[in-house]
Chains A and B, each alone.
Chain A
Amino acid sequence: GESVGLHLPTLSVQEGDNSIINCAYSNSASDYFIWYKQESGKGPQFIIDIRSNMDKRQGQRVTVLLNKTVKHLSLQIAATQPGDSAVYFCAENIGAAGNKLTFGGGTRVLVKP
C-alpha cells in the first residue's frame, strides 16, 4: 500500500454488497502479507494473512488474493455489514527481515445502510 498523506482512499459500499479493497506492495522479496482492520479509536485488528506460496486464502466472509506477478493484494468482504466500516491496512513482511511489518497507507470503508 502506498501512503496517501492526509486523505485516505475511501470505498463506499451498500450494506449487503461485496467489498474489494486493493493494495499494491512494494518489495518483491516480501513473502508474508496480512490484512488489518482499524475501527475509530482502536488499534489495528488482525483479519487474515497469506504466505507468498499461496494465491488465495479464505476466512469467515473474507478472502485474500495475492498476485505476486504484479505485486498486488486484495481483500474481499462478502455481504458487507455496518460493522465492517473501518480503515483497512495491508502489511508485508520479508522473512529475512525478521519481525518488521511494513504497513500500507490504508483504505477507509464506509458501509451505507
Chain B
Amino acid sequence: DAGVIQSPRHEVTEMGQEVTLRCKPISGHNSLFWYRQTMMRGLELLIYFNNNVPIDDSGMPEDRFSAKMPNASFSTLKIQPSEPRDSAVYFCASSLGRGAREKLFFGSGTQLSVL
C-alpha cells in the first residue's frame, strides 16, 4: 500500500503565479480531504470530497483557491494567483468511508513557499 501520494513535495513560486498541488488517494477510499497547516493557524480543513463530489468547501479561503477531483484516483488544489500568505504545508488525506469517524490517512504534504 503506497499510501496517499502528494506532489510536488516542495514548491517555490513567485507571487502572482499559478500553483497546482496534486494528490492520489489510497485506492478504494471514497473520501478525500485537503488541509492546510501553518504555525499560526494549525491544521485547517479546506475542502473535502466524497465519491469525487465536493461536499463542503467552506474552508477554502477565497476564490483564488479551487479544487477538483476528476476521478477517484486524482485530485488537484489550485491557487491562482498565489500570494505570500498562502505559504504553508498542504496535506491531502483520504478515508475509506464518508464519515469523520473513519481514519484519515494523510500524505506527506506539499511545502509551498510563495515569494
Contact = CB atoms under 8 A, between A and B. Distances in A.
Interface of A: 3, 5-6, 32, 41-46, 49, 51, 89, 91, 93, 95, 98-106
A46 B104 contact: yes
Given A100-B56, A101-B100, A3 B42 contact: yes
B40 A5 contact: yes
Contacts of B108: 41-43
Interface of B: 4, 31, 33, 39-45, 48, 50, 55-56, 91, 93, 98-101, 103-109
Contacts, number: 64
B42 A105 contact: yes
10 contacts: A42-B106, A43-B93, A44-B104, A44-B106, A46-B103, A98-B55, A98-B56, A99-B98, A101-B100, A104-B42
Given A43-B109, A106-B42, 16 more contacts: A6-B39, A6-B40, A32-B100, A43-B106, A43-B108, A89-B43, A91-B43, A93-B101, A99-B31, A99-B56, A99-B98, A99-B99, A100-B45, A100-B100, A101-B100, A105-B42
A91 B50 CA distance: 20
Nearest to A7: B39
Contacts of A93: 100-101
A99 B39 contact: no
B31 to A, nearest CB: 7
